[in-house]
Amino acid sequence: MNVDKHSPATTHSIAPPLKRGSKKHIQLPINQIMKTTLNSRLLWCIAVVFFALSSCRKDNFSANQPNAPVDNAPQKSVAVEAVPGFKVVGYLPSWAGAVSAVQFSKLTHINYAFVPPTPSGGIGAVDNVSKLQSLVSTGHANNVKVLVSFGGWNNGDDSAFETLAANATSRTNFVNNLVSFANQYNLDGIDIDWEYPDDGASANNYAALMSQLSTALHNQGKLLTAAVISNDGSSVLNSVFGYVDFLNLMAYDGDGSNHSPYALAQASLNYWIGRGLPKAKAILGVPFYGREPYTSYADILAGGGSPNSDTWNGIGYNGIPTIKSKTTLAINQGGGIMMWELSQDVTGANSLLSAINSVINGSTTPPSSPPIGTVISLKGFNNLYVSGENGTQAMNCNRTTAGDWEHFTVLDAGGGKIYLRSMGKYVSSENGTQAITCNRTTPGDWEKFDWIVTTDGKITLRGNNGKFISSENGTQAMTCNRAAASGWEAFGLNQ
């Protein structure tokens, strides 16, 4: 293995020195567009009409709960629902991070990095083949698409790409080799990380390569994606937008230690979408590391940095608040979020990937101690909400949104245990002998649960019978009869 090529300071994640015709990360002006007086008046009128109509509405209950009473505890609505089609793309390098440590449930795509091209259109050696094979099989078992990324920063040497793309024969050879490679390893697609084509002939050659790849891969049912500079990417012609399934916008490695501020994320999305890239294809990149010097988020926290800050010992990074803000930005203005790279994260409450997931699913990182007095909702492995069913039938995990029946107040049951109350009634384990209910007016031992936080930021609930509550994946009524907790027994928290 070529250590120099794969060291963190020489990859996809590090901003290169200027090469011929290259572009530095440039922050575009923010808030350039001013509303005209006419537009302001129109918006004001619309707002007045909307307010008037809204004030006439009655409380919006679900059709199957027409006159549901309101719990005495204050209700909290879900901030952000799961976003259909939203992509969460994580790069995993060949030289770092174990497949077993990947939080697959919080990802839609994983890019294995990197494999080098050769000037003649061949494919270089694949580092850690067994890791790639394990990633593909485990990813597919978790409904995550796996791609391989070709290229990378490579110390600023993109000569192999320049040479192969400039020659029709080597370009075709490369395309054919990539299709065979994708089929050989059962990949879902190919990611091109050419850092960076130049303006002029190089840009045209890049577009020609992407055109051929698009046709060849899409004919095989495979994806084509690419990593591109944050902005000022004139060497990526607009025609490329139609060839790719999406672009990963590397909105990091700007100037100085503050290399990936929120403003750069805004500027990157504004630039590419402003040029005509469809919103659904704009995947906002965020860093799981800081600069300078280059330091992983995990090492920053291990050294004493705060997960809720963006600076430590002169190193600039993205803590949880900034990552959450960028995720919201990506939801509102883009088609997904990408991170370089997964091995640099931590697990548990301070995980950046968990922070991203919490925004997408409207959940929060659960506290280690039960949040007594707080109103919560619970989202199962199937991404649906747990419902108390107003106490009229067994509980289910099949609601797409959280209404009154899907909110529970956490109450102190003593001895470190909790009760869950919804619509004035308590959740009961039924001692594991039948489906669980939410119909007890007075709580007893069967209504007591242990609040257990998992390493990936979920909670499990263990009844007094020593068994765990299961969502049953929403296919049948919920139970409390599992001896161990896994996917169906873990819940995302909304509060």
**Boundary (domain end) residue, out of 360, 392, 410:** 360
Classified as helix, coil or strand, 27 is: coil
Q: Report the alpha-carbon distance of residue 493 to residue 401 in Å, rounded.
A: 14
Instruction: For residues 309 and 162, state if they share a domain.
Output: yes
**Greater model confidence, 221 or 77:** 221
Instruction: For residues 170 and 213, state if they share a domain.
Output: yes
At 84, the pLDDT band (50, 70, 90 cuts) reads confident
What integer pLDDT is reported at residue 260 of this predicted model? 98
* 236 close to 204: Cβ distance less than 8 angstroms: no
Stretch among 100-104, 254-258, 261-265 having the lowest mean pLDDT: 254-258
**Boundary (domain end) residue, out of 360, 391, 420:** 360
User: Nearest-CA neighbor of 290 among 239, 328, 254?
Assistant: 254
**Greater model confidence, 29 or 137:** 137
Both tokens assigned to 21? 């015709």
Domain annotation covers residue 458: yes
Q: Report the alpha-carbon distance of residue 202 to residue 199 in Å, rounded.
A: 6
Cβ neighbours, 10 Å, residue 406: 23
Q: Report the alpha-carbon distance of residue 243 to residue 372 in Å, rounded.
A: 52
What integer pLDDT is reported at residue 2 of this predicted model? 33
* 14 close to 253: Cβ distance less than 8 angstroms: yes
At 492, the pLDDT band (50, 70, 90 cuts) reads confident
Domain annotation covers residue 57: no
Instruction: For residues 295 and 169, state if they share a domain.
Output: yes
- Is beta strand 87-93 parallel, antiparallel or unpaired with respect to 109-115? parallel
Both tokens assigned to 284? 């906002």
Max distance between CA atoms of the chain, in angstroms, equals 78
If you write DSSP's letter for every residue of 70-94 in order, what string do you get? PPSSPP---SS---TT-EEEEEEET
Instruction: For residues 200 and 129, state if they share a domain.
Output: yes
Cα dihedral: 376, 378, 383, 387 (round 10): -100
**Boundary (domain end) residue, out of 360, 385, 402:** 360
**Greater model confidence, 437 or 78:** 437
Provide the CATH number for the domain around residue 478.
2.80.10.50
Q: Report the alpha-carbon distance of residue 102 to residue 132 in Å, rounded.
A: 13
Please give the sequence-ordered ranges of beta strands (E in DSSP) within 99-205, or none if there are none: 109-115, 145-152, 189-194
Sign of the dihedral through C-alpha 189, 194, 195, 196? negative
118-161 pLDDT, tens per residue?
999 999 999 999 999 999 999 999 999 999 999 999 999 999 99
Domain annotation covers residue 487: yes
Domain annotation covers residue 124: yes
* DSSP 8-state code for residue 15: P
Instruction: For residues 310 and 434, state if they share a domain.
Output: no
What integer pLDDT is reported at residue 79 of this predicted model? 28
Q: What are phi and psi of 302, to 5 degrees?
A: -65, -30
CA angle 83-485-140, nearest 5°? Answer: 50
At 495, the pLDDT band (50, 70, 90 cuts) reads low
Q: Report the alpha-carbon distance of residue 484 to residue 40 in Å, rounded.
A: 58
Overall domain count for the chain: 2
If you write DSSP's letter for every residue of 255-295 in order, what string do you get? SSS--S-HHHHHHHHHHHHHTT--GGGEEEEEESEEBTTTE
Instruction: For residues 350 and 380, state if they share a domain.
Output: no
Domain annotation covers residue 130: yes
* DSSP 8-state code for residue 120: T
46-59 pLDDT, tens per residue?
443 333 333 333 23
What integer pLDDT is reported at residue 367 of this predicted model? 84
By residue range, what is the domain housing residue 383? 375-494
Both tokens assigned to 82? 């799961």
User: Nearest-CA neighbor of 369 among 418, 405, 325?
Assistant: 418
Provide CB contacts within 8 A for 3, sequence distance 6+. Answer: none
Instruction: For residues 459 and 350, state if they share a domain.
Output: no
Instruction: For residues 324 and 219, state if they share a domain.
Output: yes
Q: Report the alpha-carbon distance of residue 350 to residue 297 in Å, rounded.
A: 10
Q: What pTM does this model have?
A: 0.66
* 464 close to 446: Cβ distance less than 8 angstroms: yes
Provide the CATH number for the domain around residue 210.
3.20.20.80
Q: Report the alpha-carbon distance of residue 303 to residue 313 in Å, rounded.
A: 10
- Specify the DSSP element, H or E, that contains 492: strand 492-494
Domain annotation covers residue 472: yes
Look over the chain and give the mean of its residue pLDDT values, rounded to a whole number.
86
Instruction: For residues 330 and 469, state if they share a domain.
Output: no
278-305 pLDDT, tens per residue?
999 999 999 999 999 999 999 999 999 9
414-470 pLDDT, tens per residue?
999 999 999 999 999 999 999 999 999 999 999 999 999 988 778 999 999 999 999
What integer pLDDT is reported at residue 460 of this predicted model? 96
Instruction: For residues 120 and 243, state if they share a domain.
Output: yes
| pLDDT surpassing 50 at residue 43 | no
Domain annotation covers residue 319: yes
Cβ neighbours, 10 Å, residue 111: 28
174-212 pLDDT, tens per residue?
999 999 999 999 999 999 999 999 999 999 999 999 999
Domain annotation covers residue 17: no
| pLDDT surpassing 70 at residue 332 | yes
User: Nearest-CA neighbor of 249 among 89, 384, 487?
Assistant: 89
Instruction: For residues 174 and 318, state if they share a domain.
Output: yes
Instruction: For residues 241 and 334, state if they share a domain.
Output: yes
Sign of the dihedral through C-alpha 354, 359, 362, 364? positive
Please give the sequence-ordered ranges of beta strands (E in DSSP) within 388-472, or none if there are none: 396-399, 408-414, 417-422, 425-428, 437-440, 449-453, 459-463, 468-470
